[in-house]
Amino acid sequence: MITKVKKIDAESLAEAKEIILSGGVVAFPTETVYGLGASAFDDGAVKSIFDIKGRPNDNPLIAHVYDGYDLSRIVDADPPYAAALRRAFLPGPLTLVYPSRGKVSPRVSCGLDTLAVRVPSHPGAQAFLRAVGIPVVAPSANLSKHVSPTSAKHVLDDFDGKIPLILDGGECSGGIESTVCDVTGEYPVVLRPGLVTREMIAKAAGRCEASAETVRPGERAKSPGMMYKHYSPRCRTMLFPVGDRAGAEAAYEREKAAGSRAFLLGEEKLAKAWNARGMSAFSLGNTPGEMAARLYGLLREAERRADVLIAVEPAGDGGVMTGVKNRLKKACASEDIPH
Ligand code: AMP
Ligand code: MG
């Protein structure tokens, strides 16, 4: 199969619509990362998403809809605070988990009685979802466990020859996957941290908790045993806690002495200092937003250029930093973590 990469226009949208409505898959941009889309109503198409990605079939998918889509077609009534969250943050990088009406393929939620729905704000995503007209399941457009894609090139690197069409909407501005928030209970619960933060949700809804898997502001770093790799680059990785710059530098020197192509990863001021000393280092940037936008691109660059990536956690907690640290840990945590 030839994989076409096309700018988003009337012609490519018509082609994308035809592919989706006939049970195929199309990759498309969102403001967070690129998604691998298929009709949420088509059992075979949903199955093919799991197959193409190599995604475990107990990891449910998010249904994406255009702004203005009548949610009551696929999910049940929700508490008033959910309406407040939609008003405050949608369209945008926030996925809400609702009671499902069971209208989409049962494979979407992997047997759960809930359905995760997102309304992305990216104009290309909106144009695509509007053209298709039905809910589109779209996990991140990367092979399972690989780094999420923030450009059409990243998608091509993982799926060249495996999917017919990638809609190219340029680089994703957000950079980390949407916040996932459960709205089936008395108050919202963040299941996955992202750019719409727990603090922002609490402000709009009156209260918001984070599920145990996420690091709350002020919480200490998790023990290595609780960390598992997820969004991983294809090189060895190490993650050092905030403040253990010396440990990271010692690891770098050890790796260099052993002949490895080693790279350090840290916030801008650290990276600049390392570069000034002749060490190879990637800069995450200065602000949490910048770090979110750069992280996955840097992880993909690291796997091309490095044998080992040695990361130092950025300072600060809460807000967008919670999402940045969550992804950095899932990408770089390994048995080597000196926690
Ligand atoms: P991805 O599509 O790769 O960004 O992953 C989707 C995320 O949404 C995963 O973390 C899923 O566990 C989560 N998710 C999707 N549907 C549900 C659901 N019904 N309940 C809870 N989490 C969900
Ligand atoms: Mg993913």
Q: What is the pLDDT of residues 48-90, one digit of tens each?
A: 999 999 999 889 999 999 999 999 999 997 899 999 999 999 9
Of the listed ligands, the closest to the CA of 192 is 1
pTM for the full model? 0.93
pLDDT of residue 166: 98
pLDDT (tens digit per residue) in 8-19: 999 999 999 999
Ligand 2 center–CA 142 separation, angstroms: 7
pLDDT (tens digit per residue) in 208-236: 999 875 444 444 333 333 344 677 899 99
Of the listed ligands, the closest to the CA of 230 is 2
Residue nearest to atom 2 of ligand 1 (CA): 139
pLDDT of residue 212: 72
Q: Ligand 1 pocket check: which of 32, 192, 296 to mutate, most ligand atoms within 8 Å of Cβ? A: 192
pLDDT of residue 229: 60
What residue ranges in the chain does DSSP mark as E strands?
A: 4-7, 26-28, 35-39, 62-64, 94-99, 114-118, 136-137, 165-168, 179-182, 189-192, 209-210, 236-240, 262-266, 281-283, 308-312
Atom from ligand 1 closest to the CA of residue 100: 19
Decide which of 334 and 187 is more confident: 187
Q: Ligand 1 pocket check: which of 31, 52, 59, 189 to mutate, most ligand atoms within 8 Å of Cβ? A: 59
Ligand 1 center–CA 63 separation, angstroms: 10
pLDDT of residue 335: 46
pLDDT of residue 78: 82
Per-chain mean pLDDT for the chain: 92
Cβ contact 100:75 at 8 Å? yes
Report the largest interatomic distance among the alpha carbons of the chain, rounded to a whole angstrom.
Answer: 61
Would you say residue 138 has pLDDT above 70?
yes
pLDDT of residue 220: 37
**Alpha-carbon separation of residue 159 from 25, 27, 143, 163, 172 (angstroms):** 11, 10, 8, 6, 18
Query: What DSSP character marks residue 31?
Result: S
pLDDT of residue 117: 98
Confidence of residue 298 (pLDDT cuts 50, 70, 90): very high
Q: Mean pLDDT throughout 155-182?
A: 97
Ligand 2 center–CA 277 separation, angstroms: 36
Phi-psi region of 23 (alpha: psi -120 to 50; beta: other; left: phi over 0): left
pLDDT of residue 213: 57
Q: State percent of the chain over pLDDT 90.
A: 88
Ligand 1 center–CA 55 separation, angstroms: 12
Query: In terms of C-beta distances under 8 Å and separation of at least 24 residues, what long-range contacts does 265-269 make, across chains too?
Result: 265/298, 265/302, 265/309, 265/310, 265/311, 265/312, 265/332, 266/311, 266/312, 266/314, 267/291, 267/312, 267/314, 267/315
Would you say residue 256 has pLDDT above 70?
yes
Q: State percent of the chain over pLDDT 70.
A: 93
Q: Any residues with Cβ below 6 Å from ligand 1, and which?
A: 59-62, 97, 109, 112, 114-116, 139-140, 177, 180, 191-192
